[in-house]
Structure 1
Amino acid sequence: MTVLAQAPAGIDDRLARRNALVLAAAQALAGANSAVVFGTAGLVGTMLAPDPALATVPVSTFVVGQWIGTLPVGAIARRFGRLVTFELGTLIGLCAGLVCAAGVILASFPLFCFGTLCGGLYAAAHLTYRFAAADTASDAFKPKAVSWVLAGGVMAGVFGPQLIIATKDVLPQYVFAASYLAQAAVAVVAALVLLLVRFPDHAAGPARAAAPPRPLAVIFRQPRLITAVLCGLASYATMNLMMTAAPVAMVACNHSVTDAALGLQWHVMAMYAPSFVTGSLIVRFGTARVIAAGLALTGLSAAVGWAGTSVAHFWTALILLGVGWNFAFVGATALVTACHTASERNKVQAVNDFFIFGTMAAGSFASGHMLARHGWPLVVEVVLGAVVATVALLAWIALAGRRRSVPDA
C-alpha cells in the first residue's frame, strides 16, 4: 500500500501560492505610496523647507515612520492577526495621502512631514506582506513566495512614477498635491484587494504553536540570523541613502523633474522585476551567493554614480542599485524565515525590520546634510564604504563560525 507523505501542520503550498499572488497585487498598489513619497517628497521639501539642508527631511520622516511602526505592526499581528494589521495599514495610508496634500496646499512643512511619517507607518505594514506569504509555505517554496510578493513592486515601479507625472500639475498652484490625493485613493483600492487574502487560523490570529518561544537574546545569537539582519541592513540602508538623494541631486544637476521621476521609475522596476527569478536563483545557487551578488551590484552602482552626473550615470546607478537591493534583501528575508519557529514569527520579523528601518532612518537624515553640504559624490562614496564594511564583517562572522566548528586538537 502506498503511503502519501503529509505536509507538516499548517504548511499548504497551494494556499501559499494563492496568497502570494493576492499579496503581490496589493503590494503593487501599496508600493505606489512609497514611490510617490520617494519621487516627490525631496522636491516638495526643497520648496517648503526653511533650509536647503532640510529638503530630504520628509523622506527621512517617512523612514522614521517605517521604523517606529515595525514593533507595533508585529504586536498587532500577534494579537489580532495579519489581515487586521494590513487593513489598518491601508487606513493609515489613506490618511497619509490626505495629510500630505494638505501640507502642500497650506505650504506647511511640519504638516507635510507628519503626512510622510504616516506614509511610513503604512509602509511598515505593507512591507510585512513578504513574510505573510511565507506563513504557510514549505521550506522549498518560501524563497519563491517572498519573491513573488516583491515582484508586485514591478507594477508599483511603473504605476507610482506615472501617477506623479500624470497628476503633479492637476492643481497648478499646488504642485504634487494631486499626486498625494491620488495615492490616498490607491490605498483604498489596496484595502479591497487585501480582503481576498485567506489565512488559516494559526496564521491569521495569534500564534498557537506547541513549542514555547525562545527569548529574543537566544534567537538573535544565531550566526545565520545575524547574517540575515546585517544583509538586510546593508541592502536597505544603502539603497535608501542613494534613492533619497538621487531625485534632488538630479534636479540640482539641471536635469528635469520628469527625468528624475523616470529615473525613480527605472530604479523601482529594477528593485522588483528580478523577483520573478530571485527565488529560483536562491533555490539553485544558494542564499549566500545571491546575497553576495546583490552587495556586489550595490557597490558597482556607487561606482557608476561617482563616475559622473549625466542622466545616463544617474539612471544606470539607480538600476544597478535596485537589482542589488533585490538580490540582497530577498536573500536576507529568506534567511530570517528559516531562523524562527511559528510562535516566534511575528516578534522576530518585527525586530528584524526594526533594526533595518532604524538604520535607514539615520541614513536618511544624514543624506540631506551630505547632499547640501558636500554634494552627490559623498553620498555614493559612503554607500561604497558601507558595502565594503559589510562584506568584511560577514567574512569575519563566517570565519569565526568555521573556527568554532573545528574541535581543538
Structure 2
Amino acid sequence: MNIRNLLILIWAHITLGSIAPMMVLLNGFVGSTLAPSESLATFGMGMLVAGTAVSTIPAAKIANRYGRRVGFLAAVLISVFGCLSCVASLYVRSFVLYCAGMTLLGCTLAFVQQFRFAATENVPAAKTSLAVGLILFAGIGAAMVGPRLGVFTQHLVPDILYAGSYLALAGLALLAAGGLMLYRPQIKPQEQTFKNRVKFSSLWTSRYALGVLCGTTAYTVMSLVMTATPISMHHHQGIAMGDTANVIQWHIAAMFLPSLFVGVLMQKWGAPKVALFGLICNLMAVVLALQGVTYLHYMVALVLLGLGWNGLFLAGTQLVATAYPGAERYQAQAGNDFIIFGFQGAASLSAGLLMATLGWNGLNLVALALLLICLIGWLHLVLIKGLDSNQSIA
C-alpha cells in the first residue's frame, strides 16, 4: 500500500476538487449577472458538466500514454486557464467567455474523477473499496473549502465581484500541483498501451454493466433533484435562503461523510448489496419528497438522496475498477465516466425545464422512474446473470 500516493490524492481532491462545490455556489449569481436572460442563468453549470463528459476519454488517453501524474498536472494547467477565463468574462461582461471558462473547469473535473481509480492502483485488491471510500470522503473537505473560499474572496478584486473567487480557485489548483508533482504512479506509462484495445461493446460484462448503471443513476438522480431543490424551496415555497442553504449543506455532507463507513460495509457485504442499499435510500428520498414541501420534508429527503448517492456511486466505482484491472482499465474507466457525466449534464440542463413544465412532484416522478429502471437492472444483473460472468452482455 502506497500511503504517500494516497495522501497526495486526498490533498489534490480537497484542493483541485473544490471546483465543483465553489461553482455550485457561484454559478447562479454570476450566471444571473452575465446571462442574456434568466432562463440561461444555470447554463454555465451545464457547460461545466458537459466539459467533464467530453474530456473523460481524452483524460484517460493522456493517463494511458504519459501516466497519471502528467494527466493530473495537465488538469492543474487547464483549471488555471479556466479560472482566468472566468475572471476575464467578469471584466468584459461576456457570457460566452464565462461559459468557455466553465467548460475548461469541467475538463479539469474529468481528471479529478480519475483520483478514485488512481487510488485503487495504490492498494491491494482487497482494499480497493476502502481506497475509493477514502477519496470520496475527502470530498467533504472540498465541499467545505470551495464555497467558503469563494465567499471569503468575492471582494478581493475591487469593482469586479467574484473575480477574486476565481483567482483564489486558481491558487488552490497551484497548491494541488505542489503535491501532484510528488505523485509516483504505480503503473508505468509504457505498460499502458492501447495496442490490445478492444471493442467497447465487449467490455459489458455483468460486473461492468452494473457499475456503469449504478454510477449513472447516482449522478443523474442526484443532479436532477439537487439542482431543482433551491428553486422549489426558495422560489416556489418561499422558504428562507438560509434554510435552503442548510438543506444543500447537509445534502453534500451526506454525500461524502459516510464514505469510510460504506467502504467498510462493502468489504463485508460486497458492492452489489451496497448498491442496493443506495438504491433504497434514493427511493425513500424521492417518495418522501412527494409527500410534502415543508422544510423537514426537504431536509430528510436531501440527506437520504446524498446517502443513496454515496452507496450507489462508491459501489459503481468499485465494480468498474475491479471489472478490468488490466491494460483495458483506461478504456473501461473512460467509457464509464463519459456515460455518467453525459447523463448528469442532461439532468442538470433539464432540471429547470422539468420544474417549469412538471413542477416539483413531476420532476420527482421522473427521478422515481430512473431509480426503478436501475432496480430492474440490478435484479437482472445480480440475480439472473450473476456478477461473476465474464460473458459480454452486449
The alpha carbon displacement at 1:170 in A equals: 5.0
The alpha carbon displacement at 1:330 in A equals: 0.7
State whether structure 2 residue 81 is matched by structure 1 residue 98.
no
Q: Quick one: structure 1 residues 61 and 277, their matched pair in 2 at CA, closer, same or farther if it must change by over 3 Å?
A: same
Look up the equivalent residue of 1:395 and give its one-letter code: L
The alpha carbon displacement at 1:103 in A equals: 2.4
Structure 2: runs of 5+ lacking an equivalent: 390-394
State whether structure 2 residue 218 is matched by structure 1 residue 235.
yes
The alpha carbon displacement at 1:310 in A equals: 4.2
Correspondence 1:260-271 to 2 at 5 A: 260-271=244-255
> What is the rounded CA distance, in whole Å, between the counterparts of 1:356 and 1:165 in structure 2?
30
Correspondence 1:59-74 to 2 at 5 A: 59-74=45-60
- The one of 182, 190, 198 equivalent to 1:196 is 182
User: What percentage of residue pairs aligned between the two structures are identical?
Assistant: 33
The alpha carbon displacement at 1:66 in A equals: 0.6
The alpha carbon displacement at 1:376 in A equals: 3.1
The alpha carbon displacement at 1:384 in A equals: 1.9
> What is the rounded CA distance, in whole Å, between the counterparts of 2:145 and 2:242 in structure 1?
14
2:228 equivalent in structure 1: 245
State whether structure 2 residue 30 is matched by structure 1 residue 44.
yes
Q: Per-residue displacement from partner, 1:97-151 (whole Å, max 9, x unpaired)?
A: 2222332343322222111111110100111000001114222011111111111
> What is the rounded CA distance, in whole Å, between the counterparts of 1:72 and 1:291 in structure 2?
28
CA contact (8 A) 2:6 2:122 kept: no
Look up the equivalent residue of 1:190 and give its one-letter code: A
Q: Quick one: structure 1 residues 54 and 371, their matched pair in 2 at CA, closer, same or farther if it must change by over 3 Å?
A: farther
2:366 equivalent in structure 1: 382
> What is the rounded CA distance, in whole Å, between the counterparts of 1:266 and 1:153 in structure 2?
13
The alpha carbon displacement at 1:275 in A equals: 1.3
2:392 equivalent in structure 1: none
Q: Per-residue displacement from partner, 1:64-112 (whole Å, max 9, x unpaired)?
A: 0010010000110111110010011111112222222332343322222
Moved more, 164-173 or 115-124: 164-173
Q: Quick one: structure 1 residues 165 and 309, their matched pair in 2 at CA, closer, same or farther if it must change by over 3 Å?
A: farther
The alpha carbon displacement at 1:311 in A equals: 4.2
CA contact (8 A) 2:64 2:192 kept: no
Correspondence 1:6-155 to 2 at 5 A: 13=1, 15=2, 17-155=3-141
The alpha carbon displacement at 1:224 in A equals: 1.4
> What is the rounded CA distance, in whole Å, between the counterparts of 2:61 and 2:137 in structure 1?
27
State whether structure 2 residue 339 is matched by structure 1 residue 355.
yes
CA contact (8 A) 1:53 1:372 kept: no
2:318 equivalent in structure 1: 334
Moved more, 87-96 or 64-73: 87-96
Q: Per-residue displacement from partner, 1:261-313 (whole Å, max 9, x unpaired)?
A: 44433222221111122221100111111111111112222233334444444
Partner-residue secondary structure (3-state), 2:328? helix
Partner-residue secondary structure (3-state), 1:152? helix
> What is the rounded CA distance, in whole Å, between the counterparts of 1:35 and 1:364 in structure 2?
14
CA contact (8 A) 1:213 1:341 kept: no
State whether structure 2 residue 270 is matched by structure 1 residue 291.
no
> What is the rounded CA distance, in whole Å, between the counterparts of 1:115 and 1:280 in structure 2?
39
CA contact (8 A) 1:305 1:380 kept: yes
Moved more, 127-136 or 258-267: 258-267
1:7 equivalent in structure 2: none
Give the TM-score of the pair, scaled to structure 1: 0.87
Look up the equivalent residue of 1:101 and give its one-letter code: V
> What is the rounded CA distance, in whole Å, between the counterparts of 2:289 and 2:370 in structure 1?
15
> What is the rounded CA distance, in whole Å, between the counterparts of 1:366 and 1:317 in structure 2?
20
Q: Per-residue displacement from partner, 1:321-376 (whole Å, max 9, x unpaired)?
A: 22111111111111111111421111111111111111112112211212344433
Q: Quick one: structure 1 residues 314 and 44, their matched pair in 2 at CA, closer, same or farther if it must change by over 3 Å?
A: farther
Matched pairs, number:
387
> What is the rounded CA distance, in whole Å, between the counterparts of 1:180 and 1:34 in structure 2?
12
> What is the rounded CA distance, in whole Å, between the counterparts of 2:153 and 2:363 in structure 1?
30
> What is the rounded CA distance, in whole Å, between the counterparts of 1:102 and 1:255 in structure 2?
35
CA contact (8 A) 2:67 2:188 kept: yes
2:209 equivalent in structure 1: 226
> What is the rounded CA distance, in whole Å, between the counterparts of 1:193 and 1:377 in structure 2?
46
Q: Per-residue displacement from partner, 1:366-394 (whole Å, max 9, x unpaired)?
A: 11212344433333222222111210222
> What is the rounded CA distance, in whole Å, between the counterparts of 1:117 and 1:311 in structure 2?
34
Q: Quick one: structure 1 residues 27 and 95, their matched pair in 2 at CA, closer, same or farther if it must change by over 3 Å?
A: same
Look up the equivalent residue of 1:267 and give its one-letter code: H
Q: Per-residue displacement from partner, 1:4-38 (whole Å, max 9, x unpaired)?
A: xxxxxxxxx2x1x3322221121111221000112
CA contact (8 A) 1:52 1:372 kept: no
> What is the rounded CA distance, in whole Å, between the counterparts of 1:164 and 1:306 in structure 2?
33
Look up the equivalent residue of 1:62 and give its one-letter code: L
- The one of 354, 360, 367 equivalent to 1:370 is 354
- The one of 308, 333, 354 equivalent to 1:324 is 308
The alpha carbon displacement at 1:255 in A equals: 4.5
2:148 equivalent in structure 1: 162
> What is the rounded CA distance, in whole Å, between the counterparts of 2:261 and 2:79 in structure 1?
30
Partner-residue secondary structure (3-state), 1:58? helix
State whether structure 2 residue 282 is matched by structure 1 residue 301.
no
Give the TM-score of the pair, scaled to structure 2: 0.90
The alpha carbon displacement at 1:256 in A equals: 5.1
Q: Quick one: structure 1 residues 128 and 138, their matched pair in 2 at CA, closer, same or farther if it must change by over 3 Å?
A: same
Partner-residue secondary structure (3-state), 1:343? coil
> What is the rounded CA distance, in whole Å, between the counterparts of 2:95 and 2:272 in structure 1?
43
Computed over aligned residues only, the root mean square deviation of the Cα atoms, in angstroms, reads 2.5
2:168 equivalent in structure 1: 182
Structure 1: runs of 5+ lacking an equivalent: 1-12
Look up the equivalent residue of 1:242 and give its one-letter code: V
